[in-house]
Structure 1
Amino acid sequence: MAKSAGQKLKPLVLRQTLLERSDEDHPLTVAQLIAALEPWGIQAERKSIYGDMEALRTFGMDIQSRKGKSPGWFVGERSFQLPELKLLVDAVQSCKFITKRKSDELIRKLEGLTSVWQARQLQRQVYVDRRVKTMNESVYYSIDKLHNALAARRAVTFRYFEYNVRKEKVFRRDGRRYTVFPHGLIWDSENYYLVGWDGTKKEVRHYRVDKMAELAVTCLRLEPGEDQDLAAFDMAAYAAKHFGMFRGREGRVRLRCQNRMVGVVLDRFGQEVMLVPDGEDHFTVTVDAVVSPQFFGWLFGLGDAVELTAPAWAVEAFQDQLRQVAGQYRPPEDGAAG
C-alpha cells in the first residue's frame, strides 16, 4: 500500500521539483529528478521519468528538455516570467500604502512563482533603494474590506487621523466616526484613496486609506436618489482634476504654454485635451482642475513656460501664494548678519 500511495504522488513531486528548482539555466537531469523522489520514499527508473515528463506536458506544463553539454529537464513558459516578476516586486516595494513587513511577505510569495535561482535576482531587486512606507499595518486589510463594501454597495464607517510632531495619531472630528458610501478607490501619488459620498457632509469626498482606523462595513445603503447621483459620478474625471488629491476650489482653468510643454500637458491632462495655437511659440489649453496648493506647486515648477490666465480668482490666489512664499525668503536688511 505504501508503494502504491507513493507512486500516486510521483507526478506531483516531480511537478513541484521542476517548478522550484529548474529554469532554462538550471535544467535537472534524470538522476537529479530520481534523487528528488527519494525523500518521499518513491522509487523510479529512468524510463518512467520520461513517461512522467510527457504526462506533465499533456497536463499543460511547458516541460522542455535539453541535450548536449548541460542536459536535463526544465520548466519553460510560466504564468509569470522573470521580467514581469521584477516589475511586480518593484511595484510592491514602491507602494507607500503597504508596510515594510507586508511588502516582505508579498515579495516572498512572488519569489515562489519562479525557480529558487531566479528568485535570488528578485531578492537583489528588493534592496535597490530605501523608500518611505506607511506606518499603518492595517491598510492592507482595509483595502480588502473596501472592495467588499463596494461589491455589496454598503457604507463603511471609520475614524480618520493625522500625525502630530511626536508621530502620534490625532483623530479628526474629535474621534467621531465617519460614514461614507464608497464609490471607488484611486491610487494616486503612491497612496490609496477612498472616494465616496460622505453622509455627514452630504458631498463626494476622498480619504487616504492608510489614515483610516477601525474600519467597518455596515448594512447601510444610500437613500433613493442618492444612489443614482453616485452611479453617474465620473471617477476618472474626479481623479484627473485633483493634484496630489489635495482639496480646493474647483474651476475651469486656462493655461498659456510654450510649445515645448505639449508633452507635459498631455502627460498630466491626457491625450483628449484640446490644444489651441496662440501665436507661433505658444498654445492654450482649458481644463477642469481643483485649484489647491498642490496645483500651484505643479504650476510653479514649470516656471515661465506655463502661465495661468483664467479664471481671475485662480490667478489672484496664485499671486497671493507667490507673495506669501516670497515673503519668507526676503534678503537680510543692510547691516543684518548674513
Structure 2
Amino acid sequence: MPFPALKKISFCYHHNVIVNQRAQLDEGKKLIISPYALLWHNDKYYLAGNYEKYNNISNYRIDRMKHVELTDLSVRPFSEVSDYRECFDTTDYARKSFHMFHGEQERIVLRCSNDLIDVIVDKFGRNIELSCHDRNAFTVRASVFVSDGLVEWLMQHGDRVVVLSPKRLKEKMIHQIDAMRTAYQIT
C-alpha cells in the first residue's frame, strides 16, 4: 500500500494577552503550515513546520493551536526550507534550537568555564568540537540557529560563557546586557 501524500494543516494560533488584569488567549491568527515534526521541550509539545509565507521552519506550541484541520494542500518539502534532504532530523534540529526559537544558522565559538562541560555536552552532544582554552576554560564550536532564544540560553550562564564569534551574536549579547543594566538602573 503506497504511503499517502502528506498534507498541510490549518489552525488558529493564539498568544497570551492581558485583559482585565488576567492572562488569556487572544483572538488568534489563522495559519496554514507544512508540518514536519513534533518536538518536546521544557514540558511543552511543539510543531516544527513551514508557514507558507516564509522560507524557513518555525515552531508552534501545540497548546496554543485551536481548530486544527487537515487541508487538501500538499506539504512543502522540508528540503526547500532547511538543510535536511532525506529526512527531517529532529535530534539535530532540537540541538540547534534554543527555547524553540528559530533563526539563521551560523557557526558560533564560545569560551566556557570548565564546570559547564556537562551542560554543553547535554545541549550539543558528544561529537561537538571542543578544545582547551586555558586551565579554567574550554572553547566550543557549533552550528546553531542564532536567535533570541540562544541569547537567553547564553545569558543564564553569566560570565561562565563568553561569545567569541560571530561578531553579530557578541553584539546581541552586549545589547542585552546593556538593556538589563538600564532596566535595573545600574550605571
TM bucket by the smaller chain? 0.7 to 0.9
Alpha-carbon spacing, 1:232–1:328, altered in 2? closer, same or farther (3 Å): same
Equivalent residue number for residue 64 of structure 2: 211
Equivalent residue number for residue 221 of structure 1: 74
Secondary structure of 2:169's partner? helix
Alignment of 1:153-302 (within 5 A): 153-166=6-19, 167-172=23-28, 175=29, 177-222=30-75, 226=77, 229=80, 231-302=86-157
Retained in 2: the 8 A contact 1:179–1:200?
A: no
More strand by share: 2
Question: Aligned equivalents of 2:79 and 2:186: distance in 1?
Answer: 56
Deviation string, structure 1 residues 110-130 (Cα, Å, up to 9, x no partner) = xxxxxxxxxxxxxxxxxxxxx
Retained in 1: the 8 A contact 2:78–2:88?
A: no
Question: Aligned equivalents of 1:151 and 1:197: distance in 2?
Answer: 20
Alpha-carbon spacing, 1:197–1:331, altered in 2? closer, same or farther (3 Å): closer
Question: Aligned equivalents of 1:253 and 1:180: distance in 2?
Answer: 30
Secondary structure of 2:100's partner? coil
Secondary structure of 1:240's partner? helix
Give the C-alpha shift of residue 236 in structure 1: 1.9
Code of the residue aligned with 2:126 in structure 1: it is Q
More helix by share: 1
Q: Percent identity of the aligned residues?
A: 28
Secondary structure of 1:246's partner? coil
Equivalent residue number for residue 312 of structure 1: 167
TM-score normalised by L of structure 1: 0.48
Deviation string, structure 1 residues 169-193 (Cα, Å, up to 9, x no partner) = 3245xx3x21112111001111111
Give the C-alpha shift of residue 307 in structure 1: 1.1
Retained in 2: the 8 A contact 1:308–1:315?
A: yes
Question: Aligned equivalents of 2:129 and 2:4: distance in 1?
Answer: 36
TM-score normalised by L of structure 2: 0.83
Give the C-alpha shift of residue 156 in structure 1: 0.6
Secondary structure of 1:243's partner? coil
Question: Aligned equivalents of 1:296 and 1:289: distance in 2?
Answer: 12
* Unpaired runs of at least 5, structure 1: 1-149, 333-338
Aligned-residue Cα RMSD (Å) equals 2.4
Retained in 1: the 8 A contact 2:59–2:101?
A: no
Question: Aligned equivalents of 1:292 and 1:326: distance in 2?
Answer: 21
Code of the residue aligned with 2:26 in structure 1: it is V
Question: Aligned equivalents of 1:165 and 1:279: distance in 2?
Answer: 49
Deviation string, structure 1 residues 33-55 (Cα, Å, up to 9, x no partner) = xxxxxxxxxxxxxxxxxxxxxxx
Alpha-carbon spacing, 1:227–1:268, altered in 2? closer, same or farther (3 Å): closer
Which structure has more RCO (C-alpha within 8 Å, separation ≥ 6)? 2
265-274 vs 162-171, greater mean Cα deviation = 162-171
Code of the residue aligned with 1:220 in structure 2: it is L
Give the C-alpha shift of residue 292 in structure 1: 2.8
Question: Aligned equivalents of 2:106 and 2:27: distance in 1?
Answer: 31
Code of the residue aligned with 1:327 in structure 2: it is T
208-217 vs 269-278, greater mean Cα deviation = 269-278
Alpha-carbon spacing, 1:295–1:212, altered in 2? closer, same or farther (3 Å): same
Larger Rg: 1
Alignment of 1:1-338 (within 5 A): 153-166=6-19, 167-172=23-28, 175=29, 177-222=30-75, 226=77, 229=80, 231-330=86-185
Give the C-alpha shift of residue 231 in structure 1: 4.5
Secondary structure of 2:67's partner? strand
